[in-house]
Chains A and B, each alone.
Chain A
Amino acid sequence: MSFVSVQGLGKSYRGVRAVNDFTFDVRQGEVYALVGPDGAGKSTVIRTLCGLIDSDTGEASINGFDCRKQFNHIKPILGYMPQVFSLYPDLTVTENLAFYGGIYGVVGPEYLERVEYLYRFSNLKPFADRRAQALSGGMKQKLALSCALMHQPKILILDEPTTGVDPLSRRQFWEILLQLKEEGVTIIVSTPYMDEVARADRACFVFRGEKLAEGKPAELPGLFEGTLYYFDGPPTMETIDRLNRLGDIRARRFGGGVHVYLKRGITLDEVTPALSEMGFDIKDFNPIKPDLEDCFIQLMEES
């Protein structure tokens, strides 16, 4: 039986559908990523799991307990890190840790031991007496994570923990997460960053409240249909616009070039005359292997 189970979840806000018939399972010890742009519905799914939202339809459960009716049984094993910085800015690092320790019942020698452990991986010890509001973005997130880990939760749910954090801190943050996975913690994390997906065991593409696809990060690009070409030319807005004007082609900027993919059932030969007519040299289009982002965008556009 899966550790986390979400079945047919649906939720609307004032008639606007945030999540629709959303289903997924997470096994114990797995790192599961919910990936999608802002407003895709990731937070709604996460908040339902954390007992903060009552869904209109469907069910969610953690460790066999219903997230709506039996949430009190989930609380002791759940660590949650909301999307917004959820610590008290006017309290110091230690005070925040002590407060969360206190309400999770981690006190006395157990607390001291735990804090030492948390300081070890967060490197926050030198800032112990600094107020949370004076910490950098990366440090804030590490402190928030430390607070959520205070009671050694079995499951950690993080809502966009790395949004607005610098790349180095993001990498460090993920290293901590993977270390926690080694310790057997089940992790559900939402993110808008495609590069983070590769570090998860499984990922789920979320768009407009729907699950587009789900799978191992290495397998997901295999869902891409058709052939992807890399156009080795300046990725100016004008070039991209011109390419997109051909109805059968989707082009998007990728680094110093352009990723071009053809709609389902269309081959490069079929669009070659049109491309040549527009002044493109067909030799500049080289087939490449799609990555996660290509796959996501194709799915997004076809949904």
Chain B
Amino acid sequence: MQKLRFLAQKEFRHILRDPRSLVIVVVMPIMMTFLYGYAISLDVDNIVIGVIDYDRTDESQQLIDRFYNSAYFSKPDVNSESTDPETWLLSSEAKAVMIIKPGFAGSLRERSDFSLGMIVDGSDNTVAAAVQNYASAVVSKYALDQIPVGRDIPGITISTQVLYNPDLESSHFFVPGLVAIILMMISALLTSITIAREKETGTMEQLLTAPVTPVQIIIGKILPYVGLALLDGILVLVFAKIVFGVPFVGSYLLLLAFGLIYVSAALSIGILISSLVKTQQVAMMFALVTTLLPSVMLSGLVFAIRNMPPVLQGLAQIVPAKYFVTVIRGIMLKGAGLGTLALNGLALLLLMAFLMTVAARKFNTRID
């Protein structure tokens, strides 16, 4: 235990004295949250929306003006006279098309229920989610303004049809997933670099001849990073809550438990990488390609896995981030409990056990 303390203490000093690792640990997570968070909110401004107006009344024209005068929506560049909404979406001239059926003005006057049609391009799921929210806001504001105070408000609903990606997911789904990326980065990237550094500078030679076991060396080295990873996870969550208002519905403790499993898997990958390479540079490249890239691309964070070609779908099954992204989204946004997450948790646990075994076996006490 005492030896572990010395190893961990030394590692902390390395981190504190190396500006590069400080940047990765502190600045990167905040930067990433900012970038990803704002990239989303930028996307949902000025959504190009086409309108097919079958009503052709003053009221329908007013509604259309309301849409285009809002900050959320803008007109398509080409004023297409097409009456087929899909041609707009396919050509990407518009992200969504609103259809005002005949009788809009009439039902507004009679205060009867009316249903507006909305066809949304689901291939860009963050935009698609925003379209629905913003459109209903614009429509209900318009309806409110048309009716004198005290009167019943007509029930204008928007019946949305999403094309290309029917199971639409909320944009809030993005930031929790970011935690998965950052944990993976801190854990795998930094541990592989720090172990590779000991090999590169030759200090590993002396460590291996000292009366410490390889397990002690590894645990002593990774303990500070487990702490840092958890700290970073909290940092991003707090940041996400304050800046982007991402909710946290579920159990913190459950997330912590899954987080530890996930971090252990990530650390094992880091150790595995470091035992395969000899220099920090190669370790970094290796880590980026094998952890960060799949975690972003194949975890379902950005692209839905079920829309991928079969080969990539298969590959995604061995990406720890895939399970953790599902788990953290479930806990944070839906308040999912252990019961609903059991399958993902089990997969994560198995993956971790496998990676740990391989990493421990591969860790070399010889230097050639």
Contacts and interface: CB of A to CB of B under 8 A. Distances in A.
The answer to whether A and B assemble together is yes
A146 B281 CA distance: 31
Contact of A13 (B202, B210, B365, B368): B368
Interface in B196-212: 201-203, 205-212
Given A85-B202, A91-B13, A51 B210 contact: no
A52 interface: yes
Interface in B164-196: none
B7 interface: yes
A75 B201 contact: no
Contacts of A13: 368
A75 B209 contact: yes
Contacts of B206: 80-82, 86, 147-148
Interface in B351-368: 365-368
A52 B18 contact: no
A117 interface: no
Nearest to A52: B367
B367 A47 contact: yes
Contacts of B367: 47, 52-53
B10 A88 contact: yes
B109 interface: no
Contacts of A86: 201-203, 205-206
A148 B203 CA distance: 12
A87 B202 CA distance: 8
A189 to B, nearest CB: 16
A75 B210 contact: yes
A79 B84 CA distance: 82
B211 A51 contact: no
A95 B13 CA distance: 9
A52 B3 CA distance: 21
Nearest to A74: B209
Contacts of A81: 206
Contacts of A226: none
A104 B210 CA distance: 7
Contacts of B9: 99, 102
Nearest to A79: B209
Interface string A107-123: 10000000000000000
Given A102-B6, A103-B6, A90 B14 contact: yes
Interface in A66-103: 72, 75-76, 78, 80-91, 95, 98-103
Given A53-B368, A90-B18, A103 B7 contact: yes
A225 interface: no
B14 A78 contact: no
Given A82-B202, A148-B206, 17 more contacts: A51-B365, A52-B367, A78-B209, A81-B206, A82-B205, A82-B206, A84-B202, A89-B201, A90-B13, A90-B18, A95-B10, A95-B13, A102-B2, A102-B6, A102-B9, A103-B210, A103-B211
Enumerate the 6 nearest inter-chain pairs by beta-carbon distance, A residue then B residue, closest first. Answer: A102-B6, A84-B202, A75-B211, A86-B206, A80-B209, A82-B205
Interface of B: 2-3, 5-7, 9-10, 13-14, 17-18, 201-203, 205-212, 365-368
7 contacts: A52-B368, A84-B202, A84-B205, A88-B10, A90-B14, A95-B13, A103-B211
